[in-house]
Amino acid sequence: MLVIQSHGRNGQYHPHLHIIATSGGWDRQAKQWVYLEYMPYRLLRKKWQWSLLTMLRQTVKTQEIKRLVDTCYTRYREGFVTNVQKGDVPARYQSLARYLAKYVVSPPISLRRIDRYDGRHVTYHYRSHKSEQGERETVEVYTCMGRMVQHTFPKGFQRIRYDGVQATKTFAKLKALIHDALAKVKSIITGAIQIIAPLTYRQRYQQSTGRDPLHCPHCHSEMGLWRIWHPVYGVIYDELEAIRRGKYASQAPRAAPTGSPRRTVWPAAGGISLSLPGVP
């Protein structure tokens, strides 16, 4: 799985890729999982440089790009930067996934990192990669806006890509083999896979803001969601309409008393049952 990130911690243009890969793979012939015991780090740097520059040269066929590619080979003789971290997946997969998801849906600099704004200058803080300490930077308003706008991708651009066995077509073909592989190494990767139930709006809001949206700030009682109104789209949820559409009622027919054609409507949870005479 590959995630592209175009900015650094200070908001400046710094395109790079985050790649999550397995430390091994499934051998079809041997029908077993093969672990990768050794990673040729220096070769990986040169391989990444060759792949990227070759793709760039083939895609943009200009003399300027040709000179740029030649300069990159001359200047970076050891290859491009590849930061490989090997560790226990069950211990790190949740934090890594949250880290990547945050940068996919969040701006380069969040509002909480802006310390001051006087109408002409913006001061914000960030944690430097070089010093690993907090640093502050003050720039003009238009410079700050430019740093944010340059990270806006075109509409429809896919920031997350899947390759290898995670590719859609490949995964469909190898699904049975993957399940077989997971069954064989289940004891080894216990905890690496976790099925997460979908969160409700209330739970998502609490995780994002730390506040309960259904907690009344005046009487401190729990409120019930009755209607959601949007200034542009109008009413987008109405509990009364949901009740009228039978949100809480089950229409499963139950046996009625002998000699009386009727249907009993039973509530999904709680409440009382209603016996409706004459309703087939």
Q: Is residue 194 part of a domain?
A: no
Model pLDDT, residue 275:
46
Cα 265 from Cα 212, distance rounded (Å): 34
Torsion of CA 136, 141, 142, 146, to 10 degrees: 40
Q: Is residue 255 part of a domain?
A: yes
- Is 266's pLDDT higher than 60? no
Cα 93 from Cα 183, distance rounded (Å): 20
Model pLDDT, residue 53:
93
Model pLDDT, residue 232:
83
Q: Is residue 121 part of a domain?
A: yes
Cα 147 from Cα 109, distance rounded (Å): 10
pLDDT digits (tens, 9 = 90+) for 131-172: 888 899 999 999 999 988 888 888 888 888 888 767 777 777
pLDDT digits (tens, 9 = 90+) for 12-41: 888 888 887 777 777 778 777 777 777 788
Q: Is residue 50 part of a domain?
A: no
pLDDT digits (tens, 9 = 90+) for 182-235: 666 554 444 444 545 677 878 888 887 888 988 998 998 998 888 888 888 888
**Model confidence at 109, in pLDDT bands (50, 70, 90)?**
confident
Q: What percent of the chain has pLDDT over 70?
A: 74
pLDDT digits (tens, 9 = 90+) for 162-179: 887 677 777 777 777 766
> Mean of the pLDDT values across residues 236-243?
85
Q: Which domain holds residue 228?
A: 201-210+215-244
Q: Is residue 225 part of a domain?
A: yes
Residue 184: count other Cβ atoms within 10 Å of its Cβ: 13
Residues 239, 256, single domain; the answer is no
Model pLDDT, residue 181:
64
Model pLDDT, residue 199:
78
Q: Is residue 238 part of a domain?
A: yes
Q: Is residue 170 part of a domain?
A: no
Model pLDDT, residue 207:
82
Torsion of CA 100, 101, 103, 105, to 10 degrees: 160
Q: Is residue 83 part of a domain?
A: no
In the chain, the number of structural domains is 3
Model pLDDT, residue 56:
92
Model pLDDT, residue 152:
86
- Is 267's pLDDT higher than 50? no
What is the sign, positive or negative, of the torsion defined by CA atoms of 251, 255, 261, 264?
A: negative
CA distances from 170 to 121, 164, 167 (A): 51, 7, 5
